[in-house]
Amino acid sequence: MDPMSPILHPSTHALPTPPDSPRKRRREQRSSDEVQGQLSIEDYLNNSDRYRTTTMRPPWPYPLTITPAEPSTVRQVEALKAPILQIMQDDGFPIDHHSFHFQVENVTKPNYPLGSRATTVLRLVFSGAPHIPGELGPTKDAIYQLIRGHEIRDVEVEIVFLDKCFQPSLFAIPSNHPAVAIYETAKRRILELVDRQVRNEWCLLSLFRLGLVKHKSTPTIVVFVSPFCVQDWYDLALQIKLRLPHNDSHAMGIDVEFIPGYIFTANPDTIPDGVSLVESMGTSGTPAPGTSITVLPERGGGTLGPFVTLQHQGNTIRGALTNFHVVRPPTTADKDIIEAAARFGSSPGNANQTALDVSWFAPRDVEKTKWTLKRYLKDQLTELKKEEQNIATCQMAGARVSDGARERLAGRTTAVAELNQQLAIVDRMPMKLGRTLVSSGLTIAENKVADWALIELDPEVFAGSPANFINLFPRVSSENRPYDAPDNDAPQQVTREAGATVDEIGPLLKDKWYCKFGRTTEVTGGICNGVSTYCKWPQERRQRFSKDGARHESITDGITEEWVITKENVGPRGRIQGVFSLDGDSGSGIIDREGRICGLLYGGAAGLCGHSDFQISGMCSSMVDVKRWIEERVGHGATLDFPHRNDS
């Protein structure tokens, strides 16, 4: 037995002694009658979880947003605390353990259907408990009846062991893992089954490692489905398992999990919040990869990707990459222009008005950056005045002004000057960056999403500082650096120093570490999953075309096969899933640890069940493919490259 496993305490309602790990207990629970038959995904997850029981309807999966309940309601419930605790004690709950909390709170789940409606819940919470009863449900029901018997009608009851309940993280699985070869032989049959059964209510299918923490994760076939989707999940999981080879012992170790989630490529008009770019904008007044861009009058923005040069018919064009959906015609444009851009994209010399001016920053980001700069400037001026007064007081008293005081004054003076420089730049924004030269439109190429655009930069942008037209390796924090998998969590060093020139193309490969610099989440790093991922796009994003603009017949089912990068963070009990990208990061370049540009980020996959609201993987195209697609679209022997230091 794992020495860290909980002791299963006998209960007046105890089942036969359950297995002692969350994974085994979950497997056993999924063979019970409670998880069979037609169930919503929320009820299936709740009924499968032996470490959480709730009367909430719907039983939203974790994570939840917790806020204080009405004081009058709290007092009503706390008046019953003694009999509630007696029920729990009689049923074998370790209520005297320091990990136990008796909490009356309002619960919501933002970004989930109906999730903004607050529910008041008596939450009986354990973490790190020394033992766990065999059953939680009967105790929850008894407490619920007690509360209802005292005319408290609007309070639900939940008992949860937070360190054990189902809050999964997805981790990249190595391509040489034995489970990968097994999955590869069966994935087409599994895809056909899932698509036939779940139809338009699923969006992602792949093999990952899944677990509460990385060192306890196991190979798992993961299917993202729509919230409130109803299926016989038990039977579907069984049918998926039956598609795996029967004569391979490794197949027995592959789990199946259904998780509410979604995939996305956010258009600028749907990005609600501005971000401050004070820390990354510098004082030169020239843009850099990772900054905010948009097509006016849209107010939201995407990310400026890597700088490039295009050799075409004896001319050298300075440009930058991003996504088509970042620089597509705005929602206010004529319907015919929007349709032409989606079907054909843009090409050099076309006259269909799909090539548009691109600006930096997006208006919402201008507002947030200006507000932040003014706040910083106010704080610095206050501190500068204090330093000046301290020095003046010293001088009036005839005392020597210390070197430290002079250094602090100089530092404050410099900070104020730099903030004023930045504010002067932002006051001129949004500024013209350039114009779309060539773009993909809504294209499918080789069964993958092709979502790219090349912006021809305005000559004035770098007229005064041509040396800034260069791609630089970003500063990667320790939490984003490469690491050994799965047991050694020590960060490894990248081979390029921050600020080094990045001017080579590289391959996008399974198992490898990559980073990106985006508008919203700045620098993040993650691992490319060891198997490709099936994505089924929602109906409104399914209108995609082949390279010549004809409707692409194979996209009628909405399914493509994509590269996915997962990020990991260090949690209190081990590595957990983090955020690789968010809305607004689309267009970022994907860079490997050697400093080669290997891909272009265009979207993400977000799970709605886990330890955090922010468990989002990135989806990207290979830069080798993007380069080839652009050169084919431009034609006439065009060559795309990245600028070199001596080019300026």
Q: Report DSSP letters for 135-157, one per residue.
A: -SHHHHHHHHHHHHHTT--SEEE
Kindly calculate the radius of gyration of the chain based on its CA atoms and give it in whole angstroms.
28
Q: How far apart (Å, rounded) are the C-alpha atoms in residues 186 and 365?
A: 46
Q: Which secondary structure element, helix H or strand E, spans residue 25, and what is its range?
A: helix 22-29
Q: What is the C-alpha separation between 505 and 450, in angstroms, rounded?
A: 18
Angle of helix 81-90 relative to helix 137-149, nearest 10 degrees, comes to: 160
Indicate the range of 340-344, 471-475, 580-584 predicted with least confidence. Answer: 340-344
CA torsion, points 501, 507, 513, 519, in degrees to nearest 10?
60
How large is the greatest C-alpha to C-alpha distance in the chain, in angstroms? 91
- Per-residue pLDDT, averaged over 387-405, amounts to 92
Q: How many CB atoms lie within 10 A of CB 296?
A: 16
Tokens of 114: 């109906």
Q: Collapse the DSSP code of 190 into the 3-class scheme (helix H, G, I; strand E, B; otherwise coil) and give the result.
A: helix
Q: What is the pLDDT of residues 72-113, one digit of tens each?
A: 999 999 999 999 999 999 999 999 999 899 999 999 999 899
Per mean pLDDT, which range of 208-212, 305-309, 331-335, 536-540 is the poorest?
536-540
CA-based nearest residue to 591, from 521, 635, 528:
528
pLDDT at 31: 58
Q: Residue 457's pLDDT is what?
A: 97
Region 119-134: mean pLDDT is 95
Distance CA 435, CA 327 (A): 9
Q: Which residues pair with 417 in a beta bridge?
A: none
* Three-class DSSP category at 485: coil
- The Cα–Cα gap between 488 and 62 comes to 28
Tell me which residue of 111, 213, 22, 66 sits closest to 614, measured CA to CA: 111
Summarize pLDDT for 304-356 with one digit per residue, the tens. Answer: 999 999 999 899 999 999 999 999 999 999 999 998 898 888 888 765 678 89
Of the two residues 540 and 576, the one the predictor is more confident about is 576
Does position 624 have pLDDT exceeding 70, yes or no? yes
pLDDT band at 553 (very low <50, low <70, confident <90, very high): very low
To the nearest whole percent, how much of the chain has pLDDT over 70? 89
Classify the C-alpha dihedral 195-199-203-208 as positive or negative.
negative
pLDDT digit string, tens, across residues 603-621: 999 999 999 877 899 999 9
- To the nearest 10 degrees (0 to 180), the angle between helices 233-242 and 41-48 is 80
Percent of the chain with pLDDT over 90: 75
648: pLDDT strictly greater than 80: no
For 398-446, write each residue's pLDDT tens digit: 889 899 999 999 999 999 999 999 999 999 999 999 999 999 998 888 8
Alpha helices, DSSP H, located in 305-362? 324-327, 335-344
**Could you read off the pLDDT of 491-518 as tens digits, one per residue?**
677 878 999 999 999 999 999 999 999 9
What is the rounded distance in angstroms from the CA atom of residue 569 to the CA atom of residue 576?
A: 5
pLDDT of residue 27: 62
Domains of the chain, by residue range, sit at: 7-161, 278-359+432-647, 363-427
Give the whole-angstrom CA distance, residue 514 versus residue 529: 11
- Per-residue pLDDT of 236-286, as tens digits, reads 999 999 999 988 888 999 999 999 999 998 776 667 689 999 999 989 999
Angle at 105 between CA 100 and CA 110, to 5 degrees: 115
Q: Is the pLDDT of residue 8 over 50?
A: no
> Is it the case that residue 228 has pLDDT exceeding 60?
yes
| pLDDT-based confidence at residue 1 (cuts at 50, 70, 90) | very low
Single-letter amino acid, residue 34: E
Q: Measured on CA atoms in the order 210, 214, 217, 219, is the torsion positive or negative?
A: positive
Please, are residues 561 and 594 in contact by the beta-carbon 8 Å criterion? Answer: no
Are 256 and 240 in contact by the 8 Å Cβ rule? The answer is yes
Q: Is the pLDDT of residue 554 over 70?
A: no
Rounded Cα distance between 8 and 584, Å, is: 47
14 in helix, strand or coil?
coil
pLDDT band at 647 (very low <50, low <70, confident <90, very high): low
Residue whose C-alpha is closest to residue 480's, from 342, 581, 627, 604: 581
Take residue 640 and report the two structure tokens written for it.
């795309």
Sign of the torsion angle spanned by Cα atoms 120, 122, 126, 131: negative
For the segment 571-578, the average pLDDT, to the nearest whole number, is: 89
